[in-house]
Amino acid sequence: MSITAPLGFAAAGVHAGIRREKKDLALVRTLGDGTGAAMWTRNRVLAAPVVVSQQHLACAEPQAVVVNSGVANAATGDQGVKDARATAEHAAALLGLAPEQVLVLSTGVIGAPLPVGLVTAGLDAAAYALSTDGGADAATAILTTDTRAKQAVSTGPGFTVGGMAKGSGMIHPNLATMLAVLATDYPLAAGEAIDFLRPAVELSFNSISVDGECSTNDAVVLLSSGAAPLERTPASDASFALALRAVCADLAHQIVADGEGATLLAEIAVSGAASGGEAKAIAQRIATSSLVKTALFGRDANWGRVLAAAGSAPWNGGYARLDPALVSLTYNGTAVLVAGAPQNAEPNVDGAVCSIELDLGLGDGSAGYLTSDLSYDYVRINADYRS
Amino acid sequence: MSITAPLGFAAAGVHAGIRREKKDLALVRTLGDGTGAAMWTRNRVLAAPVVVSQQHLACAEPQAVVVNSGVANAATGDQGVKDARATAEHAAALLGLAPEQVLVLSTGVIGAPLPVGLVTAGLDAAAYALSTDGGADAATAILTTDTRAKQAVSTGPGFTVGGMAKGSGMIHPNLATMLAVLATDYPLAAGEAIDFLRPAVELSFNSISVDGECSTNDAVVLLSSGAAPLERTPASDASFALALRAVCADLAHQIVADGEGATLLAEIAVSGAASGGEAKAIAQRIATSSLVKTALFGRDANWGRVLAAAGSAPWNGGYARLDPALVSLTYNGTAVLVAGAPQNAEPNVDGAVCSIELDLGLGDGSAGYLTSDLSYDYVRINADYRS
């Protein structure tokens, strides 16, 4: 069930001392000659490890990923870039790789310097501990306010995809304070991994929100060892695309379910929008509305708030198209609004999962979004924790 | 200190029975022949009173405003429009006006029908109670989760501007669940009021946020009685514009300070942006960030979150321009970041007001924004209250 499930990967997770007690440094590497790709935050403020990793990825196929938690190495100026580079160089030396073959990811407090001495000593220990059973340790070492490790595996004919992720606050499209590392033994040519990664991410990590925040450090990395003994065909490519998407969707689901303070997971489904883009804008607006999310915390099927949010979804400098007289809305399958007419129904929303389906009756655009509720604990965690 | 401070206005606030115990129906009218204008929510889901009032405003200069709290008369279909029209017609008959000269505003629960019988009986009482001292009662009758009435007055040479407002949750640009009624005796020609109202609203009500929500009912109405005995000049027009803006800014400030669960008022000032629009986008993004707002609740000068929010301000399909190496940031005058370099400073943010100044070092664009913190009480109020 871990990132080391596919053939040709080793991983480790150790306590380097960046955080007080918990594991805080993960190392994943391909055994042999692999390929890979990554997608990054679109925040204008890029953390140093993102800057350095983007440069490395432009030069070489990635063979290893270093992830530290505790310090984000963001807003740390030139020194931050030097520190990220030193991390990659130290890992490369330990693993017999070129520095450009190593990606570095960080998550934690913004503005604090990376304790490079702790990181390099930790890397020594991690390189020593590398193992084909090390996936679970690695998955633990990348966590911050997460309450549990997030791992997923999916298999196809002759191949396996494994993955790990972290992220519970600041989750939002464009990969906000969310890190995911995916591994597969499905053989991919150099430069090819991104074509599989991009659509999988769009339908998973870019369709979830815990609090509408987009961080400086977010990244999704895919590594392929190519170790699966199979002949590629169009059919096997399609199977791989599905398996990769399944792992991404599973990890995204785990992230939202572990949202900071979350007591409920809501699945927002928008259909009948004038366009696909407008469907996604509306789904996202509902999923990030504080009023919708506090109502869900109160287990109140407060559909007026859903409608008000849907009517104010930013789109093309205005709002996405919506005609209130055509809108239908259900909570957990119970209609509260049919073609604009209130139904006087009282849907049951007492559970830990809530399905909200909005049909705009305008066109063919549809989109889904996962979100969590907004609870006292979200406020407590984020008022207390300096992240 | 009330909406009846200028010459030529009468107002009343009564208990019509829409809410259990509190005053819930306000009536304001010009004495004599007035002019006026209004600005409305841009939500795609317009409440019935907004639809009806927009039609009335297209036909006649407004002479009276009816405001009810408790029920928003939104998402109420054709019946809602009939009910809003019936409200205006009844008020018009009582006041000797044409229905088109009456605007109706509602605030409260979405989806519930307007109890027209209670409203018309309440209007009978309100018309009887109309008085040039009635401003304070009217200001009380328009409240929902507000903890206090919001009134403001400003004077210029020979004229007065008065106003009242409601709104503490769902406050966001485009006038989200915020109602304001402004009155002046400054003489304005038919069709002219909007030219003064629009810039005053842009710099006040459209630059505040409590929780990023935009409602179905928001409106700002300006009525002029023209009763001030003065000769208009370019200088007096400028004085009036300033006074109107002062009243709007004062009411906007009161709304944020009374934000649901607010324990702190934050003034966000962005300068040095590449353009004015980008400055406002960045200020708004900071002001609506759940992570920034929970940090303020925790009295934590967590500048990394401000920077991360600033770097992800939606603009032209991407994010507003920002170069981290040029950014300077202060909390209450203490620099935490100077031209991209962290300052290792510990600003004092213990008070009830916090000033956050962000200089992007790129250009001349600047903008201000008022916001509140995100507290346990915000969650409690909105998880419990069906609005």
CATH superfamily, domain at A9-255: L-amino peptidase D-ALA esterase/amidase (3.60.70.12)
pLDDT of residue B172: 42
Q: Give the pLDDT confidence score for residue A176 in this predicted structure.
A: 42
Q: A341-364, pLDDT tens digit by residue?
A: 888 888 999 888 899 999 999 999
Measured distance CA(A325)–CA(A342) in Å, rounded? 11
Q: Give chain A's residues under pLDDT 70.
A: 168-176, 209-214, 384-387
Which pLDDT belongs to residue B384? 66
Q: In which residue ranges of chain B is pLDDT below 50?
A: 170-176, 387
| A212 closest CB neighbour out of B45, B290, B375 | B290
How many beta-carbon pairs below 8 A join chains A and B? 206
B32 Cβ contact list (under 8 Å, min separation 6): B8, B225, B226, B227
**pLDDT number for residue A385:** 54
Q: Tell me, what's the pLDDT at A210? A: 55
Q: In terms of DSSP bridges, do strands B365-372 and B208-209 run parallel, antiparallel, or are they unpaired? A: parallel
Query: In CATH, which superfamily holds the domain spanning A265-384?
Result: ArgJ beta chain, C-terminal domain (3.10.20.340)
**Alpha carbon distance B72, B114 (integer Å):** 8
Q: A290–B76: do the CB atoms touch at under 8 Å? A: no
Q: Which position among B87, B177, B184, B371 bears the catalytic label?
A: B177
By three-state DSSP, how is residue B64 classified? strand
Residue-level pLDDT at B255: 87
- Where in chain A is CATH 3.60.70.12? 9-255
Active site residue B87: no
Interchain CB distance below 8 Å, A290 and B174: no
Which among A294, A329, A337, A360 is the top mutation candidate for probing chain B, defined by the most B β-carbons within 10 Å of its own β-carbon? A294
Check CB contact under 8 Å for A44 and B215.
no
Kind and range of the H or E run holding B108: strand B102-109
Domain with CATH 3.10.20.340 in chain A: 265-384
Question: Taking the model in full, what pTM does it have?
Answer: 0.75
Q: B304 CA to chain A: closest CA distance, Å?
A: 5
Among the partner-chain residues B341, B376, B383, the one whose CB lies closest to the CB of A298 is: B383
CB neighbours (10 Å) of residue A334? 14
Residue of B nearest to A314 (CA): B314
pLDDT score, position B171? 46
Contacts of B80 (CB under 8 A, 6+ apart): B47, B48, B73, B74, B113, B114
